[in-house]
Amino acid sequence: MTHLLITRQLGTDLSSLEALATVDVWADRQPPPYEILQQKIPHVDGLLCLLTDRIDQALIHTGRSLKVISQMAVGYDNIDIAAATARGIPVGHTPGVLTNATADLTWALLMAAARRIVEGDRFTRSGQWQTWEPNLLLGADMAGATLGIVGLGRIGQAVARRAQGFEMQILYTGRHRGDPALEQALGVEFVDFDRLLATSDFITIHTPLSPETHHLFSDRQFEQMQSTAVLINTARGAIVDPEALYRALQNHQIAAAAIDVTDPEPISMASPLLELENLIITPHIGSASVQTRQKMAAMAIANLIAGLKGERLPYCVNPEVYA
């Protein structure tokens, strides 16, 4: 008998999986503790997991019958891909379908930070709105401003496309320069990280979390940014050093930030970041539209089924397992 483990309720029809296997769905709102995963994994042929599950080398080694790991997210920094590959286990993910939703949220945060929307809402609700004032809650213009994109992958490109409509100058940086035809179509210019930091009015992060990008934004980077700059992070929390971010916002080294991801997640209610007026924090909802989450679940299920049947995963992180 084939056994599947799904680490949370997805709110989607599982009949295609139930026709193939017994399906164990973790029903709590919180993710299964690591010890529970350790107990369950030896009996599982296929795993559908989320970015909140730590799928490390030890767990992968314990999964003696594991044929496929399918993650319902595009990012997979919670999974030890090398360990899965070493065991010949394909890992699936959900690229593409969440690009627009995440780019939309990036823009929502960017504009909310630039125009101080959340502060304005708090101001109104607390009864402070007494009259129209020439200097009340002044923010920053988008038109004519410079947008710096860190990582011009799918989501970075979708953010750049939206920036064209705002008449911005668009810079990007990354490990490699992109195709000149793509640069021309998006109206973007490749620059090194230091120049992007020093000249951008808005900086938005769209790079995966890896040992190279861990705390990519720390004190030195904030020192290079303009005092009027706004930082947006809808990628992974640990790309930004939270203590350095606190110092930069508290000392007005930069003007504002808006982050959908934190380090750790969820943010501790004791974090001093929560006291800052010039910081907006949302709870990792970049891909949280009804349609997008349905598409992500469908892709994750398609990957899982392919893996169980021994077929190539449609969206595979480690295709070298098929070599």
Q: Does 303 bind ligand DGY (CB under 6 A)?
A: no
Task: Please indicate whether residue 284 is annotated as part of the active site.
Answer: yes
Please give the Cα distance from 24 to 13 (Å, whole number).
Answer: 14
Of the candidate residues 85, 221, 287, 303, the single one contacting ligand DGY (CB under 6 A): 287
Starting at the edge strand found earlier in the chain, the sheet holding 22-25 runs 22-25, 3-6, 46-49, 68-71, 91-92
Q: Does 286 bind ligand DGY (CB under 6 A)?
A: yes
Tell me which stretch binds ligand DGY (CB under 6 A): 27-35, 71-79, 125-133, 219-227.
71-79
Query: C-beta of 235: minimal distance to ligand DGY in Å?
Result: 8
Q: Does 103 bind ligand DGY (CB under 6 A)?
A: no
Q: Does 109 bind ligand DGY (CB under 6 A)?
A: no
Q: Coil, strand or helix: which one is 241?
A: coil
Please give the Cα distance from 67 to 73 (Å, whole number).
Answer: 19
Choose among 154, 155, 97, 100: nearest CA to 294.
97
Please identify which of the residues 8, 93, 206, 284 carries the catalytic annotation.
284
Angle between helices 117-125 and 99-114 (to 10 degrees): 60
Are residues 286 and 158 in contact, defined by beta-carbon separation less than 8 angstroms?
no
Please identify which of the residues 265, 277, 311, 320 carries the catalytic annotation.
265
Q: Does 75 bind ligand DGY (CB under 6 A)?
A: yes
**Closest to ligand DGY by CB, 101 or 308:** 101
Of the candidate residues 68, 73, 108, 110, the single one contacting ligand DGY (CB under 6 A): 73
Indicate the DSSP class of residue 92: E
Task: Please give the residue ranges that form the binding site for ligand DGY (CB under 6 A).
Answer: 51, 73-75, 98, 286-287
Q: Which residues are catalytic?
A: 236, 265, 284
